[in-house]
């Protein structure tokens, strides 16, 4: 008896890249006080500890809006990012407990990022089923 061949499962792609800030789209607004605090921390440390997370086809920021705006305020033109297959199972989407919006979809996140119709700050909560390592990057290397 001949057994049917299994189809190979496509492994979701995750890649690290230092990305041009101008190519990215946010999907939620920021909190000014948090931005000010983070900007000062990055200025003091001289580096960004953790890359942001970006949907690979649409260049929508999934996690890291405040990090991006802090780097922009510090004169950076580039940002370290993990680009990921957003619609894969390795990216889980939820909302923060105090979020104004209680239910969102990945399609809505992409739509808002592409159109500029932003969610309130700290609405979406993206978690990964895989571990992504911190990759400290000097601020000078991002200008």
For residue 102, the SS3 value is coil
Residue 23's Cβ-count burial label (10 Å; 0-12, 13-18, 19+) is: exposed
Domains of the chain (ranges plus CATH)? Answer: 14-142 (3.90.1530.10)
Rounded to 10 deg, the angle between the 65-73 and 32-45 helix axes is 60
- Given a cut of 80, whether residue 114 has pLDDT beyond it is yes
Region 114-143: mean pLDDT is 95
| HSE-CB for 133 with a 13 A CA cutoff | 5
Distance between CA 19 and CA 35 in Å, rounded? 20
Residue 7's pLDDT band (cuts 50, 70, 90): very low
- Using one digit for the tens of pLDDT, what is the confidence trace for 81-98? 999 999 999 999 999 999
Of 46, 86, 85, 49, the closest CA to residue 64 belongs to: 49
Which tokens sit at 98?
């105090």
Of 49, 67, 59, 50, the closest CA to residue 22 belongs to: 59
For residue 13, the model assigns a pLDDT of 78
Cα radius of gyration rounded to whole Å, the chain: 17
Residue 8's pLDDT band (cuts 50, 70, 90): very low
Q: Which of 28, 36, 69, 108 is an active site residue?
A: 28
How many other CB atoms are found less than 10 A from the CB of residue 140?
Answer: 9
Residue 4's pLDDT band (cuts 50, 70, 90): very low
Task: Indicate if 17 belongs to the active site.
Answer: no
- Using one digit for the tens of pLDDT, what is the confidence trace for 59-78? 999 999 999 999 999 999 99
What average pLDDT is seen over the chain? 92
Weakest-pLDDT range from 2-16, 19-33, 103-117:
2-16
């Amino acid at each position: 008896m001949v057994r049917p061949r299994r189809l190979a499962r496509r492994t979701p792609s995750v890649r690290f890249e230092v990305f041009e800030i101008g190519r990215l789209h946010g999907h939620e607004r920021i909190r000014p006080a948090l931005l000010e605090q983070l900007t000062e921390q990055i200025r003091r440390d001289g580096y960004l500890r953790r890359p942001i997370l970006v949907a690979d086809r649409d260049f929508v920021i999934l996690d890291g809006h405040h990090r991006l705006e802090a780097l922009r305020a510090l004169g950076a033109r580039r940002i370290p990012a993990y680009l990921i297959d957003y619609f894969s199972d390795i990216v889980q989407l939820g909302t923060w407990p105090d979020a104004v919006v209680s239910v969102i979809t990945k399609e809505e996140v992409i739509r808002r990022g592409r159109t500029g119709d932003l969610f309130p700050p700290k609405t979406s909560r993206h978690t990964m089923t895989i571990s992504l390592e911190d990759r400290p990057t000097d601020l000078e290397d991002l200008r």
